[in-house]
Amino acid sequence: MSYVAPVKDMLFNIRHLAQIDRIAQMPGFEDAGFETAQAVLEEAAKFNEGVLAPLNWEGDKYPSSFHDGKVTTTPGFKEAYRQYTEGGWQGLQHPAEFGGQGLPHVIDVRNFGMVGAIELEPIAGRPAERAFAAYLDAFASGLLIRTTGDIIALSPPLIISEDEIGRLAETLRAVLQRLN
């Protein structure tokens, strides 16, 4: 199974819901219109599909660990992170004077959505059924997730405690276990 970023859906939302062309009329965002958003998201999709997504299986087989004060990462993760930072993906929304690209958050948040997604094994002939079942279970458990096809994306608040992150992870783990 391979991850395919929902770029078409993201661009529809950016154009029609977020109204990127109106955002591009604001001072500082003049070069951040729809064409820029499209170019950035298409390149982000290539990176996520070609570099990060293939590491998911390796991460399942050889998870990162912390023992005796030393962190050992999954094979390939360190190189992928180097490529991520060298590509400037972590700083799309940051001002250029601080090494960013000065893009509006509406573009950057779509990039992060590609990075922080969980792809579910689809049920043959019934696309998106597992993700929708996960959505309903998570919602009933007090966790709001987003789904696109068979992909689950998390959108935690920007201000969140370590305990809340733990509860989020435990709730999601339980939801995914109930799917099987």
Domain ranges of the chain: 1-114, 116-180
- Give the model's confidence band at 150: pLDDT under 50 very low, under 70 low, under 90 confident, else very high: confident
Q: Give CA angle at 20 (100, 31), nearest 5°.
A: 45
Rounded mean pLDDT, 129-142 = 89
Evaluate if residue 41 carries a pLDDT over 60.
yes
Q: Which helix (H) or strand (E) holds 145?
A: strand 145-148
- Whether residue 139 contacts residue 132, with contact meaning beta carbons closer than 8 Å, is answered with no
Domain 116-180 - what CATH class? alpha beta
Highest mean pLDDT among 23-32, 85-94, 128-137, 171-180: 23-32
- Give the model's confidence band at 127: pLDDT under 50 very low, under 70 low, under 90 confident, else very high: confident
Rounded mean pLDDT, 40-67 = 85
Q: What is the pLDDT of residues 75-125, one digit of tens each?
A: 998 899 899 888 888 888 888 888 888 898 888 777 776 776 676 777 778
- Whether residue 143 contacts residue 168, with contact meaning beta carbons closer than 8 Å, is answered with yes
**Tokens (6 digits) for 92:** 């799309």
Q: Quick one: angle between helices 105-115 and 34-47, nearest 10?
A: 20
- Whether residue 95 contacts residue 129, with contact meaning beta carbons closer than 8 Å, is answered with no
Instruction: Report the distance separating Cα 13 and Cα 107, nearest Å.
Output: 10
Evaluate if residue 25 carries a pLDDT over 90.
yes
Query: In whole angstroms, how far apart are CA 17 and each of 114, 115, 124, 144?
Result: 19, 22, 32, 20
Instruction: Report the distance separating Cα 148 and Cα 69, nearest Å.
Output: 39
Percent of the chain whose predicted confidence (pLDDT) is above 90: 22
- Whether residue 74 contacts residue 58, with contact meaning beta carbons closer than 8 Å, is answered with yes
Rounded mean pLDDT, 148-171 = 76
Higher pLDDT, 1 or 163: 163
Q: Which pLDDT belongs to residue 143?
A: 85
Q: Which pLDDT belongs to residue 177?
A: 86
Q: Which pLDDT belongs to residue 125?
A: 81
Helix (H, G, I), strand (E, B) or coil at 60: helix
Evaluate if residue 159 carries a pLDDT over 70.
no
Count CA atoms closer than 13 A to 58's CA, side-chain side: 13
